[in-house]
Structure 1
Amino acid sequence: MEMLQYALRKFITGIPLIIGVTLISFLLMVYFGPDKTYELIGKNATEEQIQEIRHQLGYDRPFVTRYIEYLKELATFDFGYSDSTGERVSSILERTIPISLALILPGFVLGNLLGIALALVAAYYRGHWLDKLIMGGSVIGMSISFLIVIIAFQIIFSSNYGLGWFPVRGWNVYDFWDYLRYVTVPTLATIFVALGYNTRFYRAVIVEEMGRDHVRTAKAFGTPPGELLFKHVLKNAMIPIITRIMFSIPLVVVSGSLLIESYFGIPGVGKVTYDAITTGDQPILKAVVGLTAVLFVLVLILNDIFYKLVDPRVSLK
């Protein structure tokens, strides 16, 4: 009950954040976004035709009225119709979000789990050649652009110039084996980049925890490495680890899926967002920006709840 009350209270306090993000983004789209009037009716239209189209598009309504309507759309998840395809935006999102989750989740989960595992090994053998090897690999992963990694992995694993084991583009998934064929290369690319950042951060957190008195005492008494790392170190290092994992979710969902889906031709929400940016499809852009703001607030709530689950001493007040 306490957690539910806290979640509701936190969501209410997060409403100003949602309003702020959506207001700025809506302001930019209204005053700097493309005007679809002449794109729809051409340059030789009469003044009456121009006014009629602008009325249909809502351009003649006051800014405040249009923004309030946008907030209503966000509250009801009804964002109207796409300017490019004429399809309902909610239908597009219902179709594409599951694809994006199926594409991003394996790399996100494995990137964090492997990052924690490598960080534990590197921290335990601090200064050893194994630590230097892991940290050297992390620096390489951090130094290379995600875009370069995607292109390189496409060439190595998917093209005729490389191994050619996996499809270069597309998402023709009908069963589990099809899913593995299409998700493997994007997942490997995601893990490669994620390991660089995750391992370095998690190692720093774990090294700091291993320097505490109770950990050094347990190590001096001959506590086995597994028990030392998982019971005494990792358990107490979970709060900063959870923070990093949770706050990377919106970034991974938006920017990560946008790059991967664009270059692999996967029809997820990232590809739809990319197409909306290039074509100026405002209904889709408004939906993505608004839902991302809501996702960020939900992440804030879940982050604090996980704090409480990991460490019951944390107060939800």
Structure 2
Amino acid sequence: MLNLLIKRLLSAIPLLLLVSFFVYALVDFIPGDAAETIAGDGATPADIEATRQQLGLDEPLLLRYLDWLWGVLHGDLGNSLYSSQSVSQILMDRMPVTLSLTVVAMVIVVVVGLPLGIVAAVRANTALDRALTAVSSVAMALPPFIIGLVLVIALAISSPIFPATGYTPLGDGFVPWLQHLILPSIAIAVISAAEVARQTRAAMVDTLSQDFIRTTRAKGLRSAHVIGKHALKTAGVPIVTVLGLQVSRALAGAVTVEFVFALPGFGTLAVSSVFSRDIPVILGMVMVTAVVIVLVNLVVDLSYGYFNPRVRV
């Protein structure tokens, strides 16, 4: 297990380097000039060029990237081109919102997706199974921002049960915190819950047809015990894998959902930073998100040893 952990951590280093350089180069090709925007509408070409030199934007792409990477290796993500505020501080201010949104969304995914998949597998090829499969197919086709708009109209405007916009920190109370997160979390979780339900059904149907399951039933064990202890654990590898993938989907969905619900998280920060070409902030968000995804995938890989002892190293 320790060898697997070391291998995964070492393999993450070139991956993070590749992702950071790709994003750095991609942002550099975005139309527009950050120096021109910062200099202002009445700036002369000389003023714009001076601003560009001050920000280091006149240097070659590779040199600018290496300079940024050197700072990252020393714990410095740089400063925003517009506010001159530390990128680390900007991300720390926004991170609790996106992490809260992701955690609540994943709780909904697990609480809804897993039971629906298990029920569909136990009732395989029945009307209930076909109905759940049809509903999950429709749910997977709906974009999160469309779901969010429908939820706002139905549960925040027509029936003011939940607030439509804004965010309340957890320190101000659990109930207000959850009230502001429940609608955007549902908007993100719908597609992921449908995907988890479908994958759980497929894995459980295959497992329930195995000989050892029939043997445990023949021994007189209760159905709940057979499904919960034996079948679900055996089918755990593909289920945990798809759950890990949904964390990435939740983080990606936050970009549009946070914009719809006016949440001050990574999503709204990403939109404003891309439009303004604030390269240090964009790269900081990308690196933090990439590290989170790498850690989630690492946890998923390590969990395989619990569900299938044969993969332990």
TM over 0.5: yes
- Shift of residue 188 of structure 1? 2.8
* Structure 1 residue ranges without an equivalent (≥5): none
Structure 2 equivalent of residue 167 of structure 1 = 163
Normalising to structure 1: TM-score of the pair?
0.89
Q: Residues 185, 305 of structure 1: CA spacing in aligned structure 2 closer, same or farther, 3 A cutoff? A: same
2:218 and 2:291 map into 1 onto residues whose CA distance is 48
- The 5 A counterparts of 1:148-167 are 148-159=146-157, 162-167=158-163
Q: Residues 73, 157 of structure 1: CA spacing in aligned structure 2 closer, same or farther, 3 A cutoff? A: farther
Identity fraction in percent: 26
- The 5 A counterparts of 1:1-317 are 2-3=1-2, 5-32=3-30, 34-41=32-39, 42=41, 45-47=44-46, 49-159=47-157, 162-173=158-169, 174-253=172-251, 255-316=252-313
Contact 1:26-1:286 at 8 Å conserved across structures: yes
Normalising to structure 2: TM-score of the pair?
0.90
2:139 and 2:81 map into 1 onto residues whose CA distance is 39
* Structure 2 residue ranges without an equivalent (≥5): none
Which stretch of structure 1 is more off in the superposition, 294-303 or 12-21?
A: 294-303
User: What amino acid is aligned across from residue 146 of structure 1 in structure 2?
Assistant: P
Two-structure CA RMSD over aligned residues (Å): 2.1
Q: Residues 208, 252 of structure 1: CA spacing in aligned structure 2 closer, same or farther, 3 A cutoff? A: same
Contact 2:79-2:86 at 8 Å conserved across structures: yes
Contact 1:74-1:290 at 8 Å conserved across structures: no
1:14 and 1:191 map into 2 onto residues whose CA distance is 27
Deviations 1:264-302 (A, max 9, x none): 001111211122122222111111122233333323322
Deviations 1:57-107 (A, max 9, x none): 112223332112222343344222223433221111111111111122112
User: What amino acid is aligned across from residue 13 of structure 1 in structure 2?
Assistant: S
User: What amino acid is aligned across from residue 87 of structure 2 in structure 1?
Assistant: V
- Shift of residue 29 of structure 1? 1.8
1:172 and 1:293 map into 2 onto residues whose CA distance is 26
Deviations 1:16-57 (A, max 9, x none): 21121112111122243532222233465254x444322211
1:105 and 1:240 map into 2 onto residues whose CA distance is 21
User: What amino acid is aligned across from residue 95 of structure 1 in structure 2?
Assistant: D
Q: How many residues align?
A: 310
1:27 and 1:208 map into 2 onto residues whose CA distance is 45
- Shift of residue 220 of structure 1? 4.2
Contact 1:186-1:260 at 8 Å conserved across structures: yes
Deviations 1:174-201 (A, max 9, x none): 2222112212222333333332222112
Contact 2:217-2:226 at 8 Å conserved across structures: yes
Contact 1:157-1:166 at 8 Å conserved across structures: yes
Contact 2:145-2:187 at 8 Å conserved across structures: no
